[in-house]
Amino acid sequence: YIVMYALTIFKNQFDNKTHRKMEFPDWESFTQLLMNLSKTLRSGKKDAQLISPAVYEEGTTRANKNVIHWGKWAAVDVDDYEGTLEDVVRKIEHYNFVIYSTASSKRGKPKFRIVFDLNRSVEKEEVRHFWFALNKFLGDLGDPQTKDSSRMYYIPAEYVGAFNFIQCNSGAPVDVDELKAKYEF
């Protein structure tokens, strides 16, 4: 049994159907999808799909109780950061990640998402501890409202009127157990 990078796709923020899934054999294939999506012109969030690292029990809807695990990646939403993008990148440069702008990103106030490669899936029971540890490592950069295990994220795109960017970094996957051990929950 090979653990794949997995995601669930949602048509919009109100969609709760969990049958649309994609799996990728490696981090490179997954990041290629994100890079390709980032080139698509979209008028705004209402014109974009959402993705989640959550893999759900077959035949269930989007809810924390129906999550089995996260599919070898995690995302952090950053909305209220005062520093520079370079400062963030420097802090995490030894990891595999993709950092991309959101539809509400502005040049003077970038809003972005950091998608991390994980060394393994994160089981349902450990999602809260892992997210806490990842956010602590990042200096509480992540929006605390986005910690639930069934969280969805708007896809990268070329959003009209936004300060758009996307950047990939090659490093190592985040070691889930190491990070959890470092930051007690």
Q: What DSSP element (H or E) covers 68?
A: strand 67-70
CA 19 to chain centre: 19
DSSP state of 145: G
pLDDT tens track, the chain, 185 positions: 466 899 999 999 999 999 999 999 999 999 999 999 999 999 999 999 999 999 999 999 999 999 999 999 999 999 988 888 889 999 999 999 999 999 999 988 999 999 999 999 999 999 999 999 999 999 999 988 878 999 999 999 999 999 999 999 999 999 999 999 999 98
Q: Residue 172 corresponds to which tokens in the numbers above?
A: 């190592």
The residues, ordered by sequence, that sit 6+ positions from 102 with a Cβ below 8 Å of its Cβ are 77, 79, 111, 112, 113, 154, 159, 162
- Distant-in-sequence, close-in-space partners of 89: CB < 8 Å, separation ≥ 6: 99, 167, 169
pTM of the complete model: 0.95
